Amino acid sequence: SDLQKQEEHGELLQPLVFVSLVLCSVLLYFKVSLMDPGFVKAEEEAGTSEEQSMVLLQVPSNIKMRRCGYCMVKQPMRAKHCQLCQHCVRRYDHHCPWIENCVGENNHPLFIVYLSLQLVVLLWGGHVAWSGLYFEQSWNWLRHNIFLLVSFILIVIFTIVVLLLLMSHLYLISCNTTTWEFMSHHRIAYLRHSELENPFDQGVVLNLWRFFC
């Protein structure tokens, strides 16, 4: 049959790989959006990690760890209360409307994997859409290709957004800082009064290793 011939020539491999990537992307989306991003539990007291202990040495002794005024838990360093999730989140990065969840200590690495996979899918989809386009200056051509043309434009827009988001996150990760710390450095006591510009930075290699591994 035609299907067997296509399989013998390897013509089905690329569609199967593409569908598998899309499926993995969807599963990752639900995983990242539904998992606990690192909520600080009421029964947990703010433990001090090795990284935080190093930072405390650089911070004046009068800077104390604060208790959240909303959920009344003692916040670990780098945690922040999210008004939308109604919880304090460990190593809070931002609340992402795309996944309708916070990006924090637990799901930040998976969020980066999700963005990377999504970028691959978009680039592949953009290539497929572009290969199906052949341009002619006529209304008849536009009428028959309008859906494919709009799809390609949307894919390009989403690709740019995802690429910029992924690059900005990778840059911040390489510096061992979060989006919240980067945007609100002047309002965070343990950063504002630190002797170092970024007391969490341990070098690009170690920062990436600690984050992903």
Which position among 24, 96, 102, 213 bears the catalytic label? 96
Which of 33, 36, 48 lies closest to 78 in space, CA to CA?
Answer: 48
CB 124 within 8 A of CB 21: yes
Q: How far is CA 111 from CA 76, 81, 92, 202, in A?
A: 22, 20, 13, 22
The tokens describing 140, both together, are 């008849």
Whether residue 96 lies in the annotated active site = yes
Write out the H or E segment, with its range, that includes residue 156: helix 139-174
Please list the residues that pair with 95 across neighbouring strands.
102
Determine contact, residues 130/151, Cβ cutoff 8 Å.
Answer: no
Q: Nearest CA to 104 among 197, 204, 181, 159? A: 181
Identify the CA nearest to 78 among candidates 150, 163, 182. 182
The catalytic residue positions are: 96
